[in-house]
Amino acid sequence: MTSRPGAPMVIRAAGKKKREKSASKAFWRKLRQPLAQSRFAKGAVATLIKQWLRLVRLTNPLAKGSADLDKANAELAPAIVALWHGQHLLAPAVYPRGRGLVAMVSRSADAELNALVVEKFGLQAVRGSGGRVGKRHRDKGGARALIALKKALDAGMNVCMIADIPHGTPREAGLGIVTLARLTGRPIVPVAITTSRRMVLEKSWDKTTINLPFGRRGVMVGEPVHVAADATPAELEAKRLEVNASLDAATEAAYRIADGAR
């Protein structure tokens, strides 16, 4: 068998590129650690993200057919706002001003920046994982966070939860959100927000969407989901699937509106 001309050169080039990529990752890991430990650095990055999100909101006027969040708030508050992972980044910037909100944010180190951004917009954040319930996941802090959210709802404030479980199956709601609705009697209100100009991080587990300036903003409120105080486990599962369906429908509609589809 004869070797293909130029093959050794191609192999060497590929090996060099791989080594450069590995070195770049190692450098970023070394750089990220001190940044993650610096309160000043994290605060500065959160401020930059806040300003970016404000720019995106200001340069993306509402597309025709979008939902009126102020009207939905007046009719349904206090409510449990449900969002999907990866589609939630613009939410703090478009939330109606002057209305209190407590948002559940994962306890993971990566989510700490999300919590800081939420607070930069004058909203409150509680740390926990609301997707899982039960003895196996007590260490996630979900029970404490759910108690904090219940207190906020009892005080007349809206709360916000990401419906799907961090690093679980994307676009599949956990039981935490329907459990909170059962405990409080407040409706789950699915909300979807997107922009016509966006970048999707395809390799991220949740297909994180980065909203970009100078387009149109699509906002949709899904059909509210109510959970009875005496709901059985089977009924809770049915309500979980109802949240899935409503949030999926709202997301599809928001994208269709933003993209100008009929």
Instruction: Locate 113 and state its tokens.
Output: 């920046």
pLDDT at 160: 98
Q: What is the pLDDT of residue 83?
A: 98
Q: How many CB atoms lie within 10 A of CB 204?
A: 12
Which residue from 87, 59, 89, 97 is spatially nearest to 254, judged by alpha carbons?
87
Contacts of 106 by beta carbon, 8 Å cutoff, 6+ apart = 114, 127, 128, 129, 162, 166
> Tokens representing 168?
């679980």
Question: What pLDDT is recorded for position 135?
Answer: 43
Domain boundaries, the chain: 8-37, 49-258
Q: Report the pLDDT value the prediction gives residue 39, as an integer from 0 to 100.
A: 79
How far apart CA 41 and CA 61 sit, in angstroms, is: 32
Cβ contacts of 125 within 8 Å, gap of 6 or more: 102, 103, 104, 105, 114, 115, 118, 119
Instruction: Render each residue's pLDDT in the chain as its tens digit; 262 residues.
Output: 555 555 555 555 556 556 655 665 565 555 555 556 677 888 999 999 999 999 999 999 999 999 999 999 999 999 999 999 999 999 999 999 888 999 999 887 678 889 999 999 999 999 986 554 444 444 456 788 999 999 999 999 999 999 998 888 999 999 999 999 999 999 999 999 999 999 999 999 999 999 999 999 999 999 999 999 999 999 999 999 999 999 999 999 999 999 997 5
Q: Please report the DSSP string for 69-134 in residue order.
A: HHHHHHHH-S-EEEE-TTS-TTHHHHSPTT--EEEEE-SSGGGHHHHHHHHHTT-EEEE---S--S
